[in-house]
Chain A
Amino acid sequence: MPLIRIRLVFRQVIDASTARTDFEKAVLTDTYHEFRVQIQTYTADRPFTSWQQLRTAIPQSDPALPIRVGFAIGLYVSGLNGQIPGLTDVLGQPVVFTDYLFSLLDSDTTDPTRHRVALTYLTDTLIWLDTVGNTLLLSLPTGPGTEPATSHRYDTFMLDRHPSLSIVSYEKVPA
C-alpha cells in the first residue's frame, strides 16, 4: 500500500474585528505601523493611501511591500515556538508548523480598521493514513525515508477538518 505524504496549511486572517489574542493584536498593530512606514517608498510624490491603490498603480510593489511589512513581525512568529495558533488536534495538542507566509489583504494609511492581514502556516511533511469521518488520521515522519519498512505501526494524531485548513502538497510514495 503506497504511503501518502502531504503538507497542510492553516490560514489565520487578522483584522480589527477578529484580533483577540496578544499575538493577533501585536501582529495587527505592528504590521499596520510598518505599512505606514513602508508605503512611503512609493508615495513620495503620489497620494496613495491604500494597499489596493498602490498595487494597482505600481505592480512591482507586490510582493515587495508585503514582504517588508511581514518581516516586522518575525519575532512574534518566532515566539509561537512553531505551534500554529488557533489549531489543535482532537486532543487539544498543538500542531507544528515549519514555515509561514505573511499576506497583506487590505490596508489604508488613513483608516486602521481597513488593515487586514493573513498568516499562512505550513506544516512539515505528514503521512496521511486515513480519513475517519471528518477527521484526518496523520503521522509525523521521524525523518526522511524512515517510515517503518517492516512494520505498519505508526504513531498518529487526528485532526478535524477546518475551513481554514488545506492540503498544499500531495505525494504518493510506492510501498
Chain B
Amino acid sequence: MKIDAPISRLDFLRKAFAGTALAPVLLQACSQDTTGIAPAGTNATGTTTGVGSTTGTTTGNCVVTDTETDGPYPLYNSRGSALQRVDIREGKTGLQLDMVFTVKNVSNSCALLPNARVDIWYCDKDGYYSGYSNSGYLGTQNNTTRTFLRGLQYADASGQVTFTGIYPGWYQGRATHLHVQVYVDNSLKLTTQVAFPEEINTAVYTTDLYKAHGQNSLKNTGDGILRDSLGNELATVVANATSGGIR
C-alpha cells in the first residue's frame, strides 16, 4: 500500500487518460485524514494528519481531523460483523481504490495508535449506499440486505488500516466523499468525512464506468460539510502503478 513513486496529480491524469480507458485502472486514491486518521498517502505527500482524542491537548506535529456528521447511511459492526474485511467491493464495479488510514494520538505526540477501530462507508459509482433503500439518478434501489462499500478494520502496530474499494460516485447535494468513524476501546473518538481532489473527481467521472452519471456539479468548496475542513479532510490520491488504479 505504500506509494513507491508518487506522481503528481496532473501526471497521473495524463497517464491515466492517455488513450486508455481506466477500466481496470485503479486510481489509488486515498488517504485522508479525518479525525484521528492520516491519509494513506502520507508518506508520499508529507501530509500529516493525526488524530486522537477529540478533547485532549494536541501535542506533536499532527492535528485532529475535523469532526463531521456521520451522514444518513452509517452502519457498524462488532465481532460477528460481515464488515470486518479489507476488500469491501462485493462485486461493485468502478475504478479500484486502495485506501490506507493512519490513526495517531494527538494527545500523545502523534504516536501511532494500534488497535483503534476504523469504520468506513460510502456510496457506489452511481451514488447509492448499501444497507438502505435509497433513491438516486437511477431511481430507488433497495439495498437493505447488502453491505457493499462498508468496512471495519482494527489498526495494526503502525496505526494503519487498509481497505480495497472503488472510487466513490456521488449523489445530489453532496460533494464526493466517504465517511469514517474511529473508536478506541469501544469509545467513539471521531466521526468525520473525507473529500477527494476535484481534478481526480473530474477525471474519474469521465471514465467509462462513471460517465453515465456524469460530473458532480457540487464541488468541495461548495459543500456545506466539507468546505470549512478541506485543510485536513482532503485525501491524498495518487496512481497505483501496480493495480492500475488509485490509492
Interface pairs A-B: 4 shortest CB-CB: A74-B82, A72-B78, A40-B188, A68-B76
Complex Cα distance A101/B191, Å? 26
Residues in B neighbouring A78, C-beta threshold 8 A: 82
Check B77–A72 contact: CB distance below 8 A. yes
Complex Cα distance A71/B82, Å? 7
Residues in A neighbouring B187, C-beta threshold 8 A: 40
State how many angstroms separate the Cβ of B232 from the closest Cβ of chain A.
20
State how many angstroms separate the Cβ of B79 from the closest Cβ of chain A.
5
- Chain A interface SS verdict (over half): helix
Q: Is B75 an interface residue (CB 8 A)?
A: yes
Check B78–A37 contact: CB distance below 8 A. yes
Q: Is A36 an interface residue (CB 8 A)?
A: yes
- The number of inter-chain residue pairs (CB within 8 angstroms) is 71
Residues in A neighbouring B75, C-beta threshold 8 A: 67-68, 71
**B170-214 interface with A by 8 A CB criterion:** 181, 183, 186-188, 191
Check A72–B188 contact: CB distance below 8 A. no
Residues in B neighbouring A41, C-beta threshold 8 A: 70, 74, 181, 188, 191
Residues in B neighbouring A73, C-beta threshold 8 A: 78, 80-81
Please give the residue numbers on chain A whose beta carbons come within 8 Å of chain B beta carbons, in ascending order: 26-27, 30-31, 33-34, 36-38, 40-41, 44, 60, 64, 67-69, 71-76, 78, 99-101
Residues in A neighbouring B183, C-beta threshold 8 A: 37
State how many angstroms separate the Cβ of B203 from the closest Cβ of chain A.
33
Check A71–B72 contact: CB distance below 8 A. no
**Which of B74, B144, B147 is within 8 Å of A64, CB to CB?**
B74
Residues in A neighbouring B20, C-beta threshold 8 A: none
Complex Cα distance A60/B132, Å? 13
Check B82–A30 contact: CB distance below 8 A. no
Q: Contacts A67-B131, A71-B76: A36 and B83 contacting too (C-beta < 8 A)?
A: no
State how many angstroms separate the Cβ of A99 from the closest Cβ of chain B.
5
Q: Contacts A41-B191, A67-B132, A99-B145: A74 and B77 contacting too (C-beta < 8 A)?
A: yes
State how many angstroms separate the Cβ of A10 from the closest Cβ of chain B.
16
Check A71–B186 contact: CB distance below 8 A. no
Complex Cα distance A36/B78, Å? 11
Residues in A neighbouring B83, C-beta threshold 8 A: 71, 74
- Chain B interface SS verdict (over half): loop
**Which of A37, A72, A101 is within 8 Å of B186, CB to CB?**
A37
Complex Cα distance A100/B146, Å? 11
Complex Cα distance A26/B132, Å? 24
Q: Is B150 an interface residue (CB 8 A)?
A: yes
Of B76, B78, B132, B150, chain A has the most CB atoms within 10 Å of the CB of B78
Residues in A neighbouring B70, C-beta threshold 8 A: 41
Check A34–B76 contact: CB distance below 8 A. yes
Known: A34-B76, A76-B80, A78-B82. 6 other contacts (CB 8 A): A30-B78, A31-B78, A33-B78, A40-B187, A72-B81, A100-B145
* B117-137 vs A, Cβ < 8 Å mask (1 yes, 0 no): 000000000000001100000
Complex Cα distance A2/B195, Å? 56
Residues in A neighbouring B188, C-beta threshold 8 A: 37, 40-41, 44
Residues in B neighbouring A64, C-beta threshold 8 A: 72-74
Complex Cα distance A122/B152, Å? 27
Q: Contacts A37-B186, A37-B188: A75 and B74 contacting too (C-beta < 8 A)?
A: no
Check B132–A71 contact: CB distance below 8 A. no
Check A30–B79 contact: CB distance below 8 A. yes
Complex Cα distance A34/B70, Å? 16
Check B82–A68 contact: CB distance below 8 A. no
Of B76, B131, B147, B187, chain A has the most CB atoms within 10 Å of the CB of B76
State how many angstroms separate the Cβ of A117 from the closest Cβ of chain B.
13
Q: Contacts A40-B188, A41-B188, A67-B131: A74 and B80 contacting too (C-beta < 8 A)?
A: yes
